[in-house]
Structure 1
C-alpha cells in the first residue's frame, strides 16, 4: 500500500506554461489553424507531460499483463483457459499480434505474469510477478482481497518504474487473459451504472450459454459482492482482474514518472477508469489509441472522457491498438520538431 500511496502523491498536473508555449508554436506553424487536428492536441499534451517544447518518444515499451479468472468456471468463454498460459509464452518470441505491429515503430513488448493459472518456465522471457493463480470465482465471493488488488496495482507501478529507469519515454498497456471481458464489463457496469445487456459482448468467444448467460453471471457477481462505485480499489477487488489492476498500476506509474501512456482497447480503458477513480490527475497522461469493437467500449471511452484516435474495428487486446497508435504519436513529435513556422520561412500572415 505504501508504494501506491507514494505514487499517487507524485502525480502532478501538466506543465501549463510549457503547454502554452507549445500551443503558440503549433499555431504559428506553416498551415491553416487547427488543420493538423489531433496531432496538434497530442503535441501540446506531450509538452505538458514532459515539460519540453520538443518532446522525445524514441524509447517505447508496451507492458502486457497476463492473468486468468476464476469466473471462467461459469462457462462464460468458449476458449480453453490454457490459452492464456500458451499465448503468454509467445511474447518473448515476438509472435503475437502486438509484437508484429510493434515492429513498425521499434517498440519493445514485455509480458508480465501477474496471475496466470499455472507456472511459466523461468527461461520463458516473461516477468514473474504472480500474485496468485488467477482470481477467485466472483460469483462465489470477491475476485480477490483488497490487499491482492492493491498488490496488482503496485506490480503495475513497479513495471512502469522499471521501464522508466531503463529510459522508456512512452508506454503502452496491454493484456492477455481468457475471459477478461467478463470482469471488465462488471467493472464498467458498476462505475457507469449501466444496463449489462447494452455493454456485454462476445469477447474472444462467448460460452455455450451465449450473451444472456454471460450477463446473468456478471449480474450475480455484482449483486453478491456489492462493489462500491466510489471506491475504485473495492470495485477492482470484488469484480475485477489481476491484469486489469496491473494495467491501472502501469498508468499510475507512468503519470508519476511524467511519461505518456497509450491506452489500448476495451479492457485497457476499463483499467484506466480504475486508475482515475484512484487518482483523477493521472488522466492527463493518457492517450486513447482505438475504438474497440466491444459493445461496452464506447461507454468506457465516454466515462474516461478521452476520444480514441483510431477506428480500425479491432478487438484483439494485447496492446495491439497502442502499438498501432505509436507512429501517430511519432508524427506529432516530428511535426513539432521539424515543421517550420511562418516567421522561420519569412512569410507574413
Structure 2
C-alpha cells in the first residue's frame, strides 16, 4: 500500500560526532540534539534543512456529534473552516508568526463550501456515520481518502516541501480518536475519553458510554487498521493517516499535532511501522489519554503547554524548535573551527 523505507542508521556515529563536537558541553542542548540527529538521518547528514514547510488542516464532521458529545454543534466545524480562510483562528496567528504556510482541506464537513476560495475539496461525504450506531464509513471511502491524501502530499513534494505538519478540525472527533486509542491500545473507553472542548461531567459520562457502545458494536470487525478507520474513524483522521504514510514514503518529515492527529499516527504505524521514523511530535496535549498515546509510540513531544485546541497549533509552535535543531547542527562552530581546546 505504502512503500516506506526505514531511516538508515548507517551514519549515526558521524552525526553524533558532529553534534558532540559543537562548541558546547556534551548533551547541553538536550532534546534539540535528539531532534537534530533525527533530522540528519531523514534529510541527510551533511546539511539537513527545512524547505518550504506546510501545515495541512483536515476538516470533517462526525455523526456522533448529533448525540451531544461536545459543547458545540456540528455547524461550528463549517464556521471554524471559514474562520481559517479569513485568517482569524489561533492556527492562522501561529502560522503567520512562525512563517508556516497553511492549507485547509475539506474532507467531509456537513455543508460543502461551494465557491469558497482557499479550501481544497477532498470530500468523502457529508459527515461520517454515528459510530455508536453504524460504521463511520466504508472501506472504499478509507481507500479513497488515502489516495486523495497521497495526491495532495505528492503536490507539495513537487513544490519542494520536505516537512508537513498536520492538524484537524471536526466537532466530535475526540470521540472517534478515543475509540481508536481504546482499540489500538486495548484499553477501556472510560480511560481514553476526555473532556474534548470542555464538556461537563454529565456530557463526559454520555460520551464515554457512546464510545463504549461503538467499541461493542464493531468489536468483531476491529481486526486490522483499515477496518478500525472504517468503523471508528473520521474522514479527516483517514486523510491524516494517509498523509503521514505518503509523506514518509517520499522521505518527508511529519509533524504530528495533538490527540486526534496522534490517533491517526497510531493507525499509520500499524499499517507501516517505518512511518514512525519520520514523525516529530509537536506537543503533548492536555486531553486525557494523549500522554498514554505518547508512551505507546515512544514519542518525546517537543512542547508541553497544557493546550487542547487542535487545528495544528502545537505542530505550528514546534516549528521554531525544529528549525533551531537544524540551525545549530548546520551553523554552530566545532571546537576545532573556533580554535577552542578542551
TM-score (normalised: structure 1):
0.94
Residue by residue over 1:288-310, the C-alpha shift from the partner in whole angstroms, topping out at 9 and shown as x without a partner, is 01110101111111112112111
Q: How does 1:243-254 map to 2 (within 5 A)?
A: 243-254=236-247
CA contact (8 A) 1:77 1:207 kept: no
Q: How does 1:99-118 map to 2 (within 5 A)?
A: 99-118=92-111
Task: Give the match for residue 57 of structure 2.
Answer: 64
CA contact (8 A) 2:66 2:74 kept: no
> In the aligned structure 1, how far is the partner of 2:124 from the partner of 2:23?
53
Aligned pair 1:188/2:181, yes or no? yes
> In the aligned structure 2, how far is the partner of 1:43 from the partner of 1:129?
34
Secondary structure of 2:10's match?
helix
> In the aligned structure 2, how far is the partner of 1:99 from the partner of 1:173?
14
Give RMSD over aligned pairs.
Answer: 1.5
> In the aligned structure 2, how far is the partner of 1:165 from the partner of 1:105?
23
TM-superposed deviation, 1:157: 2.1
> In the aligned structure 2, how far is the partner of 1:180 from the partner of 1:130?
16
Q: How does 1:273-312 map to 2 (within 5 A)?
A: 273-312=266-305
Aligned pair 1:29/2:22, yes or no? yes
> In the aligned structure 1, how far is the partner of 2:193 from the partner of 2:116?
38
Secondary structure of 1:344's match?
helix
Q: Return 5+ residue gaps in structure 1 as ranges.
A: none
CA contact (8 A) 1:21 1:53 kept: no
TM-superposed deviation, 1:272: 0.3
The number of equivalent residue pairs is: 342
CA contact (8 A) 2:164 2:247 kept: yes
Structure 1 residue ranges (4+ consecutive) displaced by more than 6 angstroms after TM superposition: none
CA contact (8 A) 1:15 1:51 kept: no
Task: Give the match for residue 211 of structure 1.
Answer: 204
Q: Return 5+ residue gaps in structure 2 as ranges.
A: none
Task: Give the match for residue 51 of structure 1.
Answer: 44
CA contact (8 A) 2:285 2:308 kept: yes
> In the aligned structure 1, how far is the partner of 2:106 from the partner of 2:124?
9
Q: Please say which of residues 267-276 and 229-238 is displaced more in the overlay.
A: 229-238
CA contact (8 A) 1:19 1:45 kept: no
> In the aligned structure 2, how far is the partner of 1:227 from the partner of 1:168?
41
Task: Give the match for residue 81 of structure 2.
Answer: 88
Of the three residues 208, 229, 233, the one matched with 2:226 is: 233
* CA spacing shift, 1:198–1:239, aligned 2, 3 Å: same
TM-superposed deviation, 1:223: 0.6
CA contact (8 A) 2:167 2:311 kept: yes
> In the aligned structure 2, how far is the partner of 1:207 from the partner of 1:133?
28
TM-superposed deviation, 1:227: 5.8
Secondary structure of 2:335's match?
coil
> In the aligned structure 1, how far is the partner of 2:169 from the partner of 2:83?
11
Of the three residues 129, 153, 158, the one matched with 1:136 is: 129
Of the three residues 155, 159, 163, the one matched with 2:152 is: 159
Residue by residue over 1:29-64, the C-alpha shift from the partner in whole angstroms, topping out at 9 and shown as x without a partner, is 111111101111111111111124211114110011
Of the three residues 161, 168, 178, the one matched with 2:161 is: 168
> In the aligned structure 2, how far is the partner of 1:137 from the partner of 1:230?
20
Residue by residue over 1:138-197, the C-alpha shift from the partner in whole angstroms, topping out at 9 and shown as x without a partner, is 122111111112222222222222111111121100000001000000000011111222
> In the aligned structure 1, how far is the partner of 2:163 from the partner of 2:156?
10
> In the aligned structure 2, how far is the partner of 1:57 from the partner of 1:258?
13
> In the aligned structure 1, how far is the partner of 2:54 from the partner of 2:231?
30
TM-superposed deviation, 1:205: 3.9
Secondary structure of 1:113's match?
strand
> In the aligned structure 1, how far is the partner of 2:201 from the partner of 2:39?
46
Secondary structure of 1:138's match?
coil
Q: Please say which of residues 336-345 and 310-319 is displaced more in the overlay.
A: 336-345
